[in-house]
Structure 1
Amino acid sequence: MKVKITTLSPIHIGSGKEISPIEFINNYRISFDRLCDLIYEKFGEKFFDFLNEEENLENLDAQKLIRKFNLNNNEVVKYCGIYRLNSILRRSTREALKVNHKLYIPGTSLKGSIRTALLYKVLKDDPIFLSNYLNNLLTKLKEMSFHKFESLMKSLDDKLIQRVFHYGKKNSNGFISYEDQQNDLMKLLYVSDSNSIEVEEHCSVDEIKVFAFNKDLPHLGFSIYAETIVPKTTFEFELRFNLDFVKEIAKKYKSQKKFIEDNFVDIDKKLLALFNIDIFKVDELDETSIIKNILDDLLNFGQEVSKVEAKYVNSLKNKTNFKFLSHIYDFDSKFKIGYGSGFHAMTIFPLLYTDRFRDMAQTLYQTLSIGRHRNKAPLNINQFPFTRKLKYNDRIEPLGWVTFSEYAEKFFTGEVQANVSTAPVTTTNKNNLQIKKDSILAEIIDDKSKPPKVKILEGDNEGKETILPGIKLDGLGLSVGSKVYVKLHFDKKNLQKAEFKGKAE
């Protein structure tokens, strides 16, 4: 089954590496290997003579080589450019995961979100099991010294995962083990990597700040920079469910019941709890319905995460620049992936936050010193986690929110309507187009480059040129000379790009 998702807010899935401004020329990332090949083609043995004489090869970078051999930047970009950013890289930045220098989302990211959502659903449907698990955990923690907590938590966490996702196997002594990773029922669900897309139109460099809970000026000094996938970017995945395995188990249940009960302990109960599969009605099942049920559970979990995050926004005393967060939390059909998803989206915290489990969670976190503030203030479970990571460029945005593409238009249409209803508007030409006050007039000056380029025609930035990513000109009947309304985006005071707002004529 093909599944498309669309990003609602910036997404960062890191490669584990950092990139530096010295790797870029004219906003193009330069392949060091290709650059060396180019220099050798031009200068032959002189290049090797230089390398032999260079005392500090480990600090040799692309820009030093370009200056040393007096290379033309445009020529370097033509032969050695890997991809172009639509943002200016000014400092070390966390690199986004790529394949063949293109952006993609690994299937493991989507599957990890699904696993957390299913864990949440199963435990929510069986509160007695979760209550007993937490009480047992607290009892064991009280009996142990603090330095052994980590190993205990790892062991008990593994057991929780096993009891939810693994079917068991009974040995000759009648002991049932759930530890075998091969018995993980999530193996029945296959999630492919997404398609890959060009960096230039879909990647930005964002500042990510850590924001504190319940503050007049709710941000801390710490920040990082990261390549992010921009909103309105669509990816496609392939999802499959191994229904043949389930049918084979159902068949053997009738003819080899003892074998199934010994080697697939509780598989019927766990298939029902996880995937809503009744093994005794297997002929009524189809793969598409099973996958749709799983994706519904993912959206339901996303709603619960959203409720927790929305409480954070509502707690802020100064909500200036936070309006977009309220809009995104008002939209139900979404879920989270990637960096900055937060403690609540990567754990079952939204369930522990409920009235039934809040006191136990408070005691557990205090015992483990989770959520302890630097000022040693006592943990308040209603303000946990104490901080959030948010994009902090032209507007403040949460990280990691995506939706299934069939819902995306509703979200972005709602965003435009929300903006227009609260912002001052100006009546323009015969089309009676209403645009926001912060939109300005620009002219398309290059419709062949990717992304196209515009010149600003009014305001403080009149005469400046910039790129216009995320738009297909031919689909809108636009070409060189066309006038458009745009919103300008800046990195500090430097013009980064223009965002299309509408046709001016």
Structure 2
Amino acid sequence: MSDVYNCEAKVLSPIHIGSGEKYTASEYVQAKVKTKKGTILNTAKRIDVSRYYMDLDENKKDEFLRDLSNPNFDLGSFDKKISNNFMRYRVINKSKSEISPNQEITESIKTLDKSYVPGSSIKGAIKSAILYGLIDDDAVDTIEHKILRNNGRVQNREYTNFLSDIFSTRSIRNSAQADIMKFLQVTDSSTIKSPYIYDILTVMAAFRKGHHEYYSRNRNTRTPTLSFLETIPAGSKLTFDIINGYSKLVHKRNFENKKNLIDIDNIKKSIFIFSKSLINNELEFADDYGIDTLYKFYNKIEKINSIDNPLLKVGAGSGYLATTVNLKIKKYDSYLYNKIADGTRGKNYEYEFPKSRKITQNGGKPLGWIQLSFKES
């Protein structure tokens, strides 16, 4: 019989997981909405353009197609009174900068036009945390001598074998069937109705300690380059289930020495330890380069991280350290860490690796932090 845990995720900073689609003002109309508390929100209604087009008369259809060829086409200017019957969903615009008509907005992944976090994203983050907890001095030595080439790049086949030794049993030949993680299932999260749009900038370590800069494509004006993302906003509460399908009676012979990896207590402890290390690293980075908003955020969430309610980073902005074991390598062997960095980045910036972080322009928050709570059903 499977062990099922009902989980709640409190969103601490905006989460973005892309659908692979982008859109411009040709697919939405801006509007202002008054809340029950009297607050005025800047919103945009995402329109089902195909349905809207089919409802136009023939003359309007020709005009629409002609105007649509203009990259600066604004659907709201074309028609100021589009019925809500054509609205797919509403977004709340929290971006600090104005969104131009030709500016692409990256859509969040959805089901029935509602945003959610895929179970695969949560499971991937959990697996990274479990793996981090298993890396010790011997594992680092294996990585150095068997997995890395002389130039610091990873040999993919050797790394796959390394992971197999950790998560798989040798008594089953089929690698997919041998992986203990196959017994761990994570459902997709619950949904939210209205995502928030944030403008995201890239803050980077500068050569001098205590200073930072922002990535810009324009070397003359140094105006920060922005991307606009749909996100699940901070303050949202999502629910999902973690299901441990391992059966001692059925699988004991093959997986007895691996089953503890997906035990809920090990999962919680692993997530806590990994996030603690990551938060400490980010605090040091923010302090070193004078990024006050980032430091305040991590200083705040550091205090609420615990084994029973651990913090987890998911989705876009998770970055190099949150998705690899390199933070543990950095702890054990700084020389090896720098070798891997050189193989990853070249010789462009020796003073910090990784050099950049993605944050919201409004509030300066990193992306993707949630706090978990667990309840056995």
TM-score, normalised relative to structure 1? 0.60
1:85 pairs, out of 91, 100, 118, with 91
Per-residue CA deviation, residues 367-391 of structure 1 (Å, 9 max, x unaligned), is x2x2345xx34x34xx321111111
- The secondary structure found in structure 1 opposite 2:83 is helix
- Could you list the per-position Cα deviations for residues 346-403 of structure 1 after superposition, in whole angstroms to 9, with x for gaps in the alignment? 111221121x32222223333x2x2345xx34x34xx32111111112x211111100
Q: d(CA) in 2 for partners of 1:271 and 1:77?
A: 55
Task: Tell me whether 1:291 sits opposite 2:261 in the alignment.
Answer: no
Is 1:392 the equivalent of 2:365?
no
Q: CA deviation at 1:65?
A: 10
Counterpart AA for 1:135: H
Q: Which has the higher helix share?
A: 1
Give matches, 1:473-488, under 5 Å.
Answer: none
Post-superposition Cα deviations, 1:453-497, rounded to whole Å, max 9, x if no partner, equal: xxxxxxxxxxxxxxxxxxxxxxxxxxxxxxxxxxxxxxxxxxxxx
Pick from 247, 250, 254 the counterpart of residue 248 of structure 1: 250
- Alignment-derived partner of residue 411 in structure 1: none
Matched with 1:270 is 258
Pick from 352, 362, 385: which aligns with 2:338? 362
- Say whether the 8 Å CA contact 2:15–2:314 is kept in structure 1: yes
In structure 2, how many angstroms separate the alpha carbons of the residues matched to 1:133 and 1:323? 35
Counterpart for residue 161 of structure 1: 163
Q: Say yes or no: does 1:18 pair with 2:22.
A: yes
For 1:311, which of 273, 284, 297 is the aligned residue? 284
Offset at residue 20 of structure 1 (A): 0.8
| TM superposition shift of 1:318 | 6.0
Pair 390,320 (structure 1): closer, same or farther in 2 beyond 3 Å: closer
Change (3 A) 1:20 1:162: same
Measured at CA, do residues 361 and 227 of structure 1 come closer, stay the same or move farther in structure 2, by a change above 3 Å? same
Deviations 1:211-238 (A, max 9, x none): 1124524322233111111101011101
Q: Which of residues 324, 342, 346 is equivalent to 2:323?
A: 346
Kindly report which structure 2 residues correspond to 1:33-72, keeping only aligned pairs within 5 A, or say none: 33-39=50-56, 43=57, 50=62, 63=74, 67=78
Amino acid paired to 1:218: E
C-alpha contact 2:116 2:192 (8 A) present in aligned 1: yes
Q: Which residue of 1 aligns with 2:143?
A: 133
Shift of 1:9: 0.7
Name the structure 2 match of 1:285: none
Change (3 A) 1:243 1:334: same
- Segments of 5+ residues of structure 1 without an aligned counterpart are 171-176, 254-263, 276-289, 407-505
| Structure of larger gyration radius | 1
**Amino acid paired to 1:232:** G
In the TM superposition, residue 98 of structure 1 has moved relative to its aligned partner by 1.0
Aligned residue for 2:35?
Answer: none
CA distance 1:135–1:327, change in 2 (3 Å): same
Partners of 2:315 and 2:65 lie apart in 1 by 41
**Aligned-partner Cα distance in 2 for 1:180–1:4:** 32
Counterpart of 1:109, as a letter, is S
Q: Equivalent of 2:125, from 109, 113, 126?
A: 113
Deviation digits for residues 87-116 of structure 1 (CA, Å, limit 9, x no counterpart): 174321111111111011100010000110
Cα RMSD after superposing both structures: 2.9
Aligned residue among 101, 104, 107 for 2:113: 101
In the alignment, the residues of structure 1 paired with residue 47 and residue 282 of structure 2 have an alpha-carbon distance, to the nearest angstrom, of 39
| Cα separation, partners in 2 of 1:372 and 1:208, compared to 1, 3 Å | farther
For 1:316 and 1:61, the matched residues in 2 are separated by 38
* 2:234 aligned with 1:231: yes
Q: Measure the CA separation in 2 of the matches of 1:154 and 1:58.
A: 45
SS of equivalent to 2:365: strand
Within the alignment, does 1:7 sit opposite 2:17 as a pair?
no
Q: Distance in 1 between matches of 2:139 and 2:267?
A: 22
Residues 323-338 of structure 1 aligned to structure 2 (within 5 Å) = 323-332=296-305, 333-338=310-315
The residue type paired with residue 361 of structure 2 is: Y
Superposition misfits of 4+ residues, deviation over 4 angstroms:
45-48, 53-66
Specify the alignment match of 1:287 in structure 2: none
Which residue does 1:180 correspond to in 2? Answer: 175
- Is the contact between residue 335 and residue 402 of structure 1 (CA under 8 Å) also seen in structure 2? yes
Partner residue of 2:40?
none
Partner Cα separation in structure 1 for residue 274 and residue 8 of structure 2: 18
How much has 1:320 moved relative to structure 2? 6.6
Q: Which runs of 5+ in 2 are unaligned?
A: 31-43, 217-224
Q: Identity across aligned pairs (percent)? A: 22
Contact 1:30/1:77, CA 8 A, preserved across alignment:
no
Amino acid at match of 1:165: F
Q: Which has the higher contact order (CA 8 A, sep 6+)?
A: 2
The alpha-carbon distance between structure 1 residues 198 and 318, as it changes in their structure 2 partners (threshold 3 A), is: closer
Cα distance between partner residues in 2 of 1:36 and 1:108: 36
Residues 23 and 61, structure 1, Cα contact 8 Å, conserved in 2 = no
Deviation of 1:271 (Å): 2.5
